[in-house]
A and B are shown apart, each in its own frame.
Chain A
């Protein structure tokens, strides 16, 4: 048995070469699958529901995928729609898909699989002790559940159920990247170790190629091995580049957790069949005792206003460690004074980041005292409302430009601002709040599937 899988690119909206994609179509895949999300871009997408790529970029890729699916008559599976996989993300991609379908005259059976979690369900599972922390996890209680947007990461089962109902295009909420590629082979009875390893290998598209690129990979899955091919004829794959992809954005390259078990690649072997094709054997899948669905959650943490400036005067740079705490004390008093005690200074976060000193590594910076002739200063104010963040930044920015320098008699401008006014409102900011798994009774119970005709 040979099962062929086309992964056109690493993330929907990242793009791919049309020639590579055309070659992928000519190889007649049994399924086309594409991931559309990640937490790697931060909690803002999950918190706000806003996707990372533009509508135009997603539309460009999705049009090619829908047309190819129509020509080949094979399933198209897209997961983690709208970056976060929230329900609004699935709706957003559905809207784009319908728009394309109307223009191109395409018709298909559509499945939408929603993965946003009901807070009452999660509270019940929490009380039952069926939510377990991963390491490291922030504390989780009912209050955190109530103020967070939480998605569950589906495995292959809800996708397979949609396929069994005749879905031709599946737009899924948050899903394990590998599940999107594994679902059809899994349903066809392919070896689970090879299936999951194949999925892991191609989930980022040609990111594991010799020349990492937003482009596609193709897999030929057999009973005893799989062959992975880079679609761009000018690019390459090596056993090392394929093996190394098990490291990517992953804690342990040999043990890769999935909802239904763990992919073990420790005994996998990688062999070059050509400059563009690598054969993989020996992957194993170890079924878990308990099926587990990973949760991802994000919550609003306030509103932010920032200011950007620079300091060139070495006299000032040398004593920032004394000046900044002094300024902070001044701001705390000023907040009490200006807002007549109505704003608790401890609810306001004022932060200076000194680029050129330790902004990137923070307290881990070993060269903190080797500052150069100039430093960049980023000031952030985070407050419960945007108006408050902005109001506080107006005097923080002003006072920061007039720090009292003991060596100087008279007022000096201690900070160079490139913009006027210096305050820049950044809108809401979000934090990740959950790193846990649910142990459900059924792999599908946390996901809702709607079937529709397009």
Chain B
């Protein structure tokens, strides 16, 4: 048992094993995330050193400094992190259900479904002066419904004497194209200035995030993460494949449906606030799997952290390197993600 360390508490009523290697990676990536967090909070037109930023966050900065860091940058950073977590966990769940490393929420059109729903939501519930007529709280729900509809379509359309991963991916690519066309269509339907905004949003950007967004997204993400934690053991069983899962007594269809809904909930909430930040759901679980293996107890938290780091880094680079223009985070994740996808394809060439 040298690979694991056992922890017992409450007179052995609670006991579990900790994978030493995975634990090391978790700590490492946690510090890495913290570092990126400090760097990101310190960078911009007003730059502070990480140490200074740390002090400002503790409340030892001037009014101006704490305003820059806490009111302007912090919401954006938190949204990036939450979105990264949501997309990465959704990607990990998706890969477990479909048992295909190439299946990510973007390529299968689920992210696209959420985008269509949000654009439609904006088009329907906007008045002349481009203000929303209903509370923005409903937007994640709309995105969730859009993502769920596409996920159900994907599931039904790929069903033909069972579910072949390849058919799933092909049908997914088709749905992807369809959602792109629909998004464009609804953008034309909406007011023009809104369409210009929507375009940046579809590329995936956390531009314009504020504290009220964080207040909506944070509780949703935490709640979903808790549910995921409870469902983790189902995920492990799903990955064994249909026959074995049935053999060990799992109600796989019901669990699969539950997991799929969980996945769309993550995507819906992430897309509602950041648009289609692409390929995070593909890359993060993959990198995590390389490091700690396929047990979801280890895989999920690590992919969540990697996802958060990816989105946060992409956004930080996007808003600092090319000043005065801002490049949406989605451009960066796609520029790294698409070659990564190609690399995976190359790796799988004999599969």
> Are both chains from one complex?
no
